[in-house]
Amino acid sequence: MIGALFFTFQIYGDFSGYSDIALGTARLFGISLLRNFAFPYFSRDIAEFWRRWHISLSTWFRDYLYIPLGGSKGSTWIKIRNTFIIFLVSGFWHGANWTFIVWGLLNALYIMPSIIFKTHRNNIDIVARDRRWPTAAEVFSILLTFGLTVLAWIFFRASTVQQAFGIVKKIFSKSLLSIPQVNLSEMVIAAFCIVVFMVIEWFGRREQYAIAHLDVKLKKPWRYALYYSIALAVFWFAGGEQQFIYFQF
């Protein structure tokens, strides 16, 4: 379970991070590219998650596959068919492995209730836009959506479907309560960093980029202290050369 949780944030940091590098590099040349992530782990349902995760690919699928297939027009059956096609193609796009197909099917199944009950457009704006904290119902929705996403990421990360089901089986067994065999200090440091950056994202969720919120709320010395702390953390935890996860897709 610990591994699945950490991978959930690893792939977010990995993909969002290199997307931001591309966006920043493009801006240096006067080119504005589409934002690729919009705080996806604060989503209240899977439909909202896919509007906030990998926005460039989701938009491409919408414009060049979903809409030509009929989009949301027609019967509920047509909408269900189109949604399954989109997620199956998304699975194939990531690789010729059954794990990606299962990952795509899981997401299609997750989104089905909102398609059937026509609630997939309920959560367009960011959660608690005009409030500091979410309601209890919103917290439950966010945690449920996050939990379903973590479960799907297991199939995305696993080498085989059998391996993925083995991990899921362990999660839903008594081994969930056992102490994981990991480096405790590294786990605590990683968890602390995740919490810090998620807090920054929460308070900056109304902005296009969370860190932009700091320019308004923090005084200059504190702001620059945070910037330098982030830079030092990058160098400190960099380790050896490692390829971005999404470079394989």
Which of 54, 94, 120, 213 is labelled catalytic? 94
Q: How far apart are CA 139 and CA 152, in angstroms?
A: 20
Check: CB of residue 50 under 8 Å from CB of residue 107. yes
- Identity at 80, one-letter amino acid code: I
DSSP per position, 58-90: HHHHIIIIITTTTTT-S-HHHHHHHHHHHHHHH
**Cβ neighbours of residue 243 under 8 Å, at least 6 residues apart?**
none
| CA-based torsion, 137, 201, 176, 47: positive or negative | positive
The sign of the torsion formed by the CA atoms of 129, 132, 142, 116 equals negative
Are the C-beta atoms of residues 206 and 213 closer than 8 Å to each other?
yes
Q: 120 an active-site residue?
A: no
Tell me the catalytic residues: 94
